Structure 1
């Protein structure tokens, strides 16, 4: 099974591929280190809770999806910094969380190979200025709700979208393709990535730096069960995998054999004498509105994003793709005549851009 997985990560106009398939000698279900500082390490990143005093606490994993700083993770990875009131919003909507006032989530970007002892450059810390989740209604005591003692809403699926604040000199932020339409199948091989050694503990600079080089692990497994209605009291549709997913991997991507993310690591039961470990992943395809967490992606075409392209048709040349029309127009004014700006779908890692009318 491991030889089937050769994952790609993308950077603007350049495709990055691993030198060989991941885990050629790995055992199914067992975590193994990934020695790939310039590929997945720039797309799958550790998440920390950074406090006003400068200390940092590891909380899980996230992954970048659009080239503009949008990430996905498990909601429970970032719920500790949530400071909102659920009774102030409508059900089945996205909620924005202000995490800029005190302790906040931040991801640590990979900056390549460093020899000797070196401090982490400040540009490698990317704080989150927005975290979105999906709300659903819950059954509550009507009298308790009237007295303001209980919210009628709850966080739904274990998935959250985050927006990173990137400094101008930040290291490259690669992406992975996300598939919101393909359902997992029982017996299907999957591959999860995350930081299993990253626990809920305060870390110093040297310990944090170690994760840039040694902390990322991969785990192969097979889908054993589908849970479209979620498990327990939480409406988080997902699927079970026979694998040892350790706590710090929460929020990490779960890939299918085509290298597309179809799930997010949510929870797990460790191996025991009675049997192997069982991991539970949130399923992207089983959540009807999950794609609203990443509005910049072209949901119909995994690996593509929606934006404003600056291009010339004869001969064809794509000069850039931007989230903002103003940024695209600014680039166009600096180019030779013949370039235009249009809204469309851009395949990350190349110059394939399909012009379309904005919705």
Structure 2
């Protein structure tokens, strides 16, 4: 059985982050661990499992938003930490945006409020970085690569997040170590709208304990093909949601080009030599940059690694 192994690679700690919740009315209280998120694009976009943040959300005029009595933030520690040092300045990264496709219940009684229903198990969060000294790190995501039975995949996440065997209660120290666990895919299930869990799933013979939920599942090519959904401590039987086989992943993660790994969709300012000089998600911002520098604006699919772009 594949048990979680500690991952001490600073690059992974820069791309895979633990998620916590706070009570804004009691800022002195201890944060509470929720699960794992991971960076997927150059603009702070992150992916996670919907159930990781589901209890933090409410419906407001038909739209989802974070509850008033909750704040959500990721803990960014880029590097290897030993012992119990103080957190660096800016380590708590607040949630600045959220999107997910979700359903809602229709209560039988008029005085009851509808509740959010998880129908995709995918969510996109915007979490900025604490600095811009180097380009934003992110994992390559493949939205069209189906998992195959027998192939080896690795799940990453914060196993045992916020759990301490030594001290219980609100005074316990935060435990947040990144782990990984590898195993073969043993079952692939397509999306089923009639199911209580209608999203597409695949089972893996690996141990992905609590706290790893929301973490990336990476194939042998090094590409993320799904998000950890659930697992059990001591059990080599875990489940993930895969991106391929339906269009929900494209709606949830619109910055990623579904037809090419490490390609992104956005608005580009292009100079007279045909080179991209600015790429972003705001068309007006791209247009302002292009006007100021005498360039043209196009909606493109762009590869930061090669500089190649395709007009959309």
TM over 0.5: yes
3-state SS in 2 of match to 1:239: strand
Partner of 2:278 in structure 1? Answer: 320
- Map Cα deviations across residues 120-178 of structure 1 (whole Å, 9 max, x no partner): 2342222113333322477x7xxx52545474972212221112255666986411121
CA contact (8 A) 1:109 1:173 kept: no
The answer to whether 1:79 aligns with 2:34 is no
Report the aligned-residue RMSD: 3.1
**Of 9, 17, 30, which aligns to 1:36?**
9
Displacement of 1:229: 4.5
Displacement of 1:351: 4.2
Q: Distance in 1 between matches of 2:82 and 2:301?
A: 40
Partner of 2:185 in structure 1? Answer: 223
3-state SS in 2 of match to 1:247: coil
Partner of 2:65 in structure 1? Answer: 97
**Of 243, 247, 252, which aligns to 1:293?**
252
Partner of 2:19 in structure 1? Answer: 47
CA contact (8 A) 1:344 1:353 kept: no
3-state SS in 2 of match to 1:328: helix
Higher helix share: 1
Displacement of 1:317: 4.2
Q: Distance in 2 between matches of 1:134 and 1:278?
A: 27
3-state SS in 1 of match to 2:13: helix
Structure 2 unaligned segments of length 5 or more: list them: none
**Of 225, 228, 232, which aligns to 1:269?**
232
Partner of 1:109 in structure 2? Answer: 76
Of 276-285 and 239-248, more deviation after overlay is shown by 276-285
Cα 1:313–1:197 change in 2 (3 A) is farther
**Of 277, 288, 302, which aligns to 1:346?**
302
The answer to whether 1:164 aligns with 2:127 is yes
TM-score by structure 1 length?
0.74
Structure 1 unaligned segments of length 5 or more: list them: 1-27, 90-94
Count of residue pairs the alignment pairs up: 304
Of 290-299 and 162-171, more deviation after overlay is shown by 162-171
CA contact (8 A) 2:104 2:114 kept: no
